Amino acid sequence: MKKLLSLALGILTAIGGFVDIGDLVTNAVVGSRFGLTLVWVTVLGVVGIALYANMAGRVAAVSGRATFEIIRERLGARAGLANLAASFLINLMTMTAEIGGVALVFQLVTGISPMLWIPLAGFGVWVVVWRAKFTALENATGLLGLGLMVFVVAVFLLKPDWGQLGPQLIPRIPATEDGTTYWYYAIALFGAAMTPYEVFFFSSGGVEEKWTVKSLGEVKANVLVGFPLGGLLSISIAACAAIVLLPQAISVTSLSQVVIPVIQAGGTIAFAFAVVGMAAAVFGAALETTLSSGYTIAQYFGWSWGKFRRPAEAARFHLVMLIGVIIAVLVLLTGVDPIAVTEFSVVFSAIALPLTYIPILIVSNDKQYMGEFRNGRLTNALSLVFLAIILVASIAAIPLMVITGAGQ
Amino acid sequence: MTDRKSMRAGRVVDAEFQLIDRQVIDSEGMPVVAVDDLEVSDVPWNTDLPPGTEAPIVENLLSGPVLGTRIFGGRPPESRWQRIAWKHVVDIGTALTLDAPAKEFDAGWTERWVRDHVVGKIPGGRHDPE
């Protein structure tokens, strides 16, 4: 019974780890402009993240080494440091988007300007990272994040014309949009689904929870159930936008448009579920990105890290996170639009994907690290296909961003 | 030569591949540093070596400022070398394990400084998470 519970909780965390402000915003934007014609990208992203997160989790369970230790080990000090600089900055950008997202959710409920919520959100994130137990913070945000299920329910309550909605699933470029814009958003969605922090967090979390070879089944279950459920939530958010916002040509510029379909479907109660779910998912992602900022730097330099230690026993790790939160709050206080930060963060995540995923693929094939648990042929074949996709997305991202004016 | 006793006889280790850039863990399982570089014993340079010359041996694990010089070139001043003597290494796995706790090595000084001057002074910094 206890084992079942921990399995269920692990799956919940995987759902929470998947859906963040990037997925909320990008899916709503895409649904309101492209209908369901980009759903295939989310499906592709879910397969990709499940494949690589499982690999990173397996490496952590078998070798006890988390992702950034491996990146340095295999790339060496120089290339590892370049990778660290890029990964840390992009993670900081995601972290800024998540903390801003928390402020936006509170604005949605209270109507009070996010400027007042930003310092509070930053402080809240820091206090939880400073004091709360790893499992407690994971489970609470995972459980409350289930409120997002209301988006799935809303799709049905809205009674869409299925005969008209179904054919949208076939990938094609809508007549109202440019081909380049379509592909720009395809890359944004892919970046939102495969955001590197998910892997930093998943593998470091494995070390936090002291996974061993015996945990491999649990790792697989978390990944194979949790991430697809997260993908389902993402697709529902896009579907809600496609059903309600697209026909009325409402564009998504803030979270208030994201929840319009939910309110239309289920009124105040549905709105309450959506808000709790969004707050938990985004706050959870803010915690995960904050922890990831500490994980990446500490693992590169070989410092002591981890929530299972007292802050004083992982002093530099906690100092990095504290500085990271302060930077994120200061950036947000300049008045930059958190939605804009989010939109850029998912595209930059897409650019950075190879930096994280290539070293994981190399190490999970390493006999000395992995012994009998190294990748099988099927996993390697699939991983290579995804590596090709990741490289294409990474290379095409900046040219498409320039050509489309960031998707305008 | 006594330093080599701690090595298990007959095991071949590739220094570039299995030592450099690897995590170092103390006797209590606490991460200490990553191996930023290695210090090997001197060999006469640019001359022919007579037969029977001792092969160079790894004397110390290096960390700290030496990382900067490894990436950008040069050599840190003598006072800035952080060494962990090879004799303290008791195991080479996916991490290197030392035979003593981190506080016995100079390499942990930045961690101790941040703990004593910053993190340890913030309320709750010395308590277990709840």
Q: Is the per-residue pLDDT at B4 higher than 70?
A: no
Q: Does A373 touch chain B (CB under 8 A)?
A: no
Summarised one tens digit per residue, pLDDT across range A251-280 is: 999 999 999 999 999 999 999 999 999 999
A-B CB pairs within 8 A amount to 97
Cα–Cα dist A406/A398, whole Å: 9
Q: Which residues of A touch B114 (CB under 8 A)?
A: 315-316, 319
Confidence of residue B7 (pLDDT cuts 50, 70, 90): very low
Write out the DSSP string of A150-211: HHHHHHHHT---HHHHGGGGS----TTS-HHHHHHHHHHHHHHHS-HHHHHHHHHHHHHTT-
Closest-CA distance, B3 to chain A, in angstroms, reads 24
Closest CA to A295 of A106, A1, A69: A69
Contacting A residues, span 55-74, partner chain B, CB-CB under 8 Å: 63-65, 69, 72-73
Confidence of residue B9 (pLDDT cuts 50, 70, 90): low
Q: Does A367 touch chain B (CB under 8 A)?
A: no
Cβ separation of A368 and B21 shorter than 8 Å?
no
**The length of chain A, given as a count of residues:** 408
Q: Which residues of B touch A81 (CB under 8 A)?
A: 71
Establish how many alpha carbons lie within 13 A of residue A131's alpha carbon, considering only the half-sphere containing its beta carbon.
9
Report the mean per-residue pLDDT for chain B.
Answer: 84
Q: Is the per-residue pLDDT at A303 higher than 90?
A: yes
Q: Does A133 touch chain B (CB under 8 A)?
A: yes
pLDDT above 90 covers a percentage of chain A that reads 78
A371 phi/psi in degrees, rounded to 5: 50, -130
Confidence of residue B54 (pLDDT cuts 50, 70, 90): confident
Predicted complex ipTM: 0.86
Strand ranges (E), A320-383: none
Report the mean per-residue pLDDT for chain A.
Answer: 93
Confidence of residue B2 (pLDDT cuts 50, 70, 90): very low
Q: Does B128 touch chain A (CB under 8 A)?
A: yes
Domains delineated in chain B: 2-6+13-46+53-121 (2.30.30.240)
Give the residue on A whose Cα is nearest the Cα of B126: A312
Q: Which residues of B touch A300 (CB under 8 A)?
A: 34
- In this complex, the residue of B23, B30, B130 whose CB is nearest that of residue A132 is B130
Domains delineated in chain A: 10-404 (1.20.1740.10)
Summarised one tens digit per residue, pLDDT across range B57-97 is: 888 999 888 888 888 888 888 778 889 999 999 999 889 99
Q: What is the pLDDT of residue B94?
A: 87
Q: At residue A388, what is the residue type?
A: A
**The length of chain B, given as a count of residues:** 130
- In this complex, the residue of A132, A302, A318 whose CB is nearest that of residue B24 is A302
Lowest mean pLDDT among A1-10, A35-44, B3-12: B3-12
Closest CA to B94 of A364, A64, A216: A64
Q: What is the pLDDT of residue B129?
A: 81
